[in-house]
Chain A
Amino acid sequence: MSTTSPLLWSTEGRPEQMGDGDEPTLRGIELSRSFGDGETRVTALDHVTLDLYGGQISLLMGPSGSGKSTLLAVLSGLLRPDSGRVIALGTDLWALPEREQEAFRLRHCGFIFQGYNLFPALTARQQLEMVLRWGQGASGREARRKSEEMLTLLGMARKSHLRPVEMSGGEKQRVAIGRALMKNPDFCFADEPTSALDWAHGEQVVELLRTAAHERGATILVVAHDARIIPYADRVFHLEDGRLKEEDVEDQGTKIKERV
């Protein structure tokens, strides 16, 4: 987006491991998860191992029911795996007590889900302010300033007073992205953020996420169906029946890097 301001994507004050260094910021090790019992038992994840790096946007693709959402939930601390470990910024996430997991998510994680999930009663600006005020205990004034900056960045400066019913789908998704990126998170997880949008708007969304990765050094994982997103990703993972296809990853990754 042309409105992108490098100042706002500042990476100051980040932990060192967030750079484009060799250390992965998020590691999933031998992750397995299944649902149900007996005959109806479904294995959603089958010993999945993967590393994600700061400053990169990784794409997770695969057919419906292949376990993409499950993997994203396990990696982000929303769904406990049956076995395996998640190491985030050097911390074994699932070994933490629930309260500390919550605190970890509060400090480091942003989320974007399909379907916006904005409060119908609140304006675009209030949706963003809420995250800072309730999450960080920011003052009303500070939350307002930062929210306005974020909305400007998203090209929504003049729509900050609109409520969800008054926004287009693309605008709503931009607010949802703003909400996820408000606290300048180290990780951002997005489950099908573009599936409800037409391609033009979907492209904008991916563009925004890519900028966040590249300029903020964030680790971004996006689940998507649409193959048109592939060129925007630094790495692409392919999931099928709960298993990760490794060969795609390297191939695509290097291909994209050369192109960008």
Chain B
Amino acid sequence: MPYSLATLWHDRQRFLPGVLAVAFSSLLIALQCGLLLGIFSITSIPIDHTRADIWMGAPEVLSVDLGQTIRGSHVGRLEVQPEVVRAEPFMQGFSYWSKPVGGRELCMVIGSHLEEDALGKVDALSPDMLGQLHIHGNIVIDESDLERLGVSGVGATAEISNQRVRVVGLTHGLKSLAGPYVFCSLETARSLLGGKLTGDTEQITYVLAKCKDPADAPRVVARLRERYKDVSTFTSSEFSFKSRMHWLLKTKAGIALGYAALLGLLVGAVVTNQTLYAATVASLREFAVLRALGIPRWRIAGMVLAQSFWVGLFGVTLGWVGSHAARYVAANMGASVSLPWELQAGAAAITLLTALVSGLVALRSLRLIEPAMLLH
């Protein structure tokens, strides 16, 4: 066992605050990012809960919920690609929901094909719901939005754009941010969003496509991008990430996140630095003996840095466990925390680096080592 690790273990009481501080800051960063990612993953629900590999929409679309109309004939552009086995239109747009009790609420109408293997229908729609959605004016909403939309449940009616709609089913866990999701057939959607969909040609919002081998999607997307400049084309994972990032940046939530993360790092750094400084000062006489014996200063510096590394490593490990526990707790409370490995690795790397820098700063304590102090 290295001397630094032996010291850490022996003096664990002393080093614990440092380890906890590092754990705290890595937990804070991971959780902050994870929570925001989780919140903004709501915006990419239509992408993440459907089967498509490729999304084609209006040029320079910023986020999936901000899609503009494109020509319905663009479906053909995807159908002819050799890797593509299926292509479909998809409609999405904001509209106004008039509550039966009075008052209006923004809602997000999503219309898609309704077959069992359709690309644009969200996975939460049961076969029974799909069957009923074929009838014009029938819709499905999420159970969490009932109150917001002022309806009691299945069978309730309301109006969207002055057209009567009837709730025929409820999904679970498809929460919304700006406006509750309203799932329906393409035809229903077209008439609900009708005001926006005028013109000679049939208008849609997106073309969705599925590849025989999903691994081909990036290649097809690259080809289509090269070829068609009047639309924008993404793989579904690209578009999902783009949508989340758009809202993260647009809402300035990213700035709040940055400050919180910085604050966490600062607390971690200060406490770690103090811990290491105090630990070195406590061993000043022992280090002084080594200096008297002619052992170079850098060996001692190496030991302090190694200690900072271990403090960082234990802290990050603890933080990792903590963030997963926190995610579990949050999930039970209905908040989704998303912790992709990139996020976890990033949080770990940043905090570990901070611990090492704290160690470097703590090296100033080595100036206090003076062999002559050992004489009486």
Mark contacts of B55-94 with chain A using CB atoms, 8 A cut-off: 1 yes-contact digit, 0 otherwise. Answer: 0000000000000000000000000000000000000000
Minimum Cβ distance to chain B for residue A130 (Å)? 6
Q: Are B293 and A118 in contact (CB under 8 A)?
A: no
The stretch of A24-32, A53-61, A71-79, A239-247 in contact with B is A71-79
Q: List 28 A-B contacts (CB under 8 A).
A: A76-B292, A102-B296, A104-B294, A105-B293, A106-B293, A106-B294, A109-B293, A111-B289, A111-B292, A111-B374, A113-B292, A113-B375, A117-B286, A117-B289, A117-B374, A118-B286, A119-B286, A120-B11, A121-B10, A122-B3, A134-B290, A134-B299, A135-B295, A163-B10, A179-B289, A180-B293, A191-B374, A191-B375
Minimum Cβ distance to chain B for residue A205 (Å)? 16
Q: Are B286 and A103 in contact (CB under 8 A)?
A: no
Pick the contact of B293 from A73, A110, A163 — CB < 8 Å? A110
Minimum Cβ distance to chain A for residue B359 (Å)? 17
Q: Are A78 and B293 in contact (CB under 8 A)?
A: no
Cβ–Cβ < 8 Å partners of B9 in chain A: 121
In this complex, how many residues of chain A approach chain B with their Cβ under 8 Å: the count is: 36
Minimum Cβ distance to chain A for residue B5 (Å)? 9
Cβ–Cβ < 8 Å partners of B295 in chain A: 106, 131, 134-135
Q: How far is the CA of A34 from the CA of B165 in the complex (A)?
A: 100
Cβ–Cβ < 8 Å partners of B290 in chain A: 130-131, 134
Q: Are B292 and A192 in contact (CB under 8 A)?
A: no
The 9 closest A-B pairs by CB, nearest first: A106-B294, A121-B10, A105-B294, A69-B375, A121-B7, A113-B374, A134-B299, A111-B292, A117-B285
A253 at the interface (CB under 8 A from B): no
Cβ–Cβ < 8 Å partners of B299 in chain A: 134
B371 at the interface (CB under 8 A from A): yes
Q: Which of B289-329 contact A (CB under 8 A)?
A: 289-290, 292-296, 299
A147 at the interface (CB under 8 A from B): no
A115 at the interface (CB under 8 A from B): yes
Total A-B contacts with CB atoms under 8 angstroms apart: 86
B6 at the interface (CB under 8 A from A): yes
Q: How far is the CA of A76 from the CA of B6 in the complex (A)?
A: 31
Cβ–Cβ < 8 Å partners of B6 in chain A: 121-122, 126
B333 at the interface (CB under 8 A from A): no
Minimum Cβ distance to chain A for residue B283 (Å)? 7
CB closest chain-A residue, reference B375 = A69
CB closest chain-B residue, reference A112 = B289
Minimum Cβ distance to chain A for residue B16 (Å)? 15
Q: Chain B CB within 10 Å — which of A72, A113, A131 has the most?
A: A113
Q: How far is the CA of A179 from the CA of B292 in the complex (A)?
A: 12
A120-B10, A130-B3 known; A79+B293 contact, CB < 8 A: no
17 more A-B contacts (CB under 8 A) besides A69-B375, A79-B375, A109-B292? A76-B292, A79-B372, A104-B294, A106-B293, A106-B294, A106-B295, A111-B293, A113-B289, A113-B292, A113-B374, A114-B376, A115-B285, A118-B286, A121-B9, A134-B296, A180-B293, A191-B375
Cβ–Cβ < 8 Å partners of B29 in chain A: none
CB closest chain-A residue, reference B300 = A134
A201 at the interface (CB under 8 A from B): no
A residues near B, CB below 8 A?
69-70, 72-73, 76, 78-79, 102-107, 109-111, 113-115, 117-122, 126, 130-131, 134-135, 163, 179-180, 183, 191-192
B288 at the interface (CB under 8 A from A): yes
Mark contacts of B354-376 with chain A using CB atoms, 8 A cut-off: 1 yes-contact digit, 0 otherwise. Answer: 00000000000000000110111
Cβ–Cβ < 8 Å partners of A119 in chain B: 3, 7, 283, 286
Q: How far is the CA of A114 from the CA of B3 in the complex (A)?
A: 24
Q: How far is the CA of A103 from the CA of B124 in the complex (A)?
A: 75
Q: Chain A CB within 10 Å — which of B9, B288, B376 has the most?
A: B376
Minimum Cβ distance to chain A for residue B287 (Å)? 9
Minimum Cβ distance to chain A for residue B376 (Å)? 6
Minimum Cβ distance to chain B for residue A114 (Å)? 6
Q: Are B293 and A135 in contact (CB under 8 A)?
A: yes
Minimum Cβ distance to chain A for residue B289 (Å)? 5
Q: How far is the CA of A163 from the CA of B292 in the complex (A)?
A: 22
Cβ–Cβ < 8 Å partners of B289 in chain A: 111, 113, 117, 179
Q: Which of B261-302 contact A (CB under 8 A)?
A: 283, 285-286, 288-290, 292-296, 299
Minimum Cβ distance to chain A for residue B37 (Å)? 42
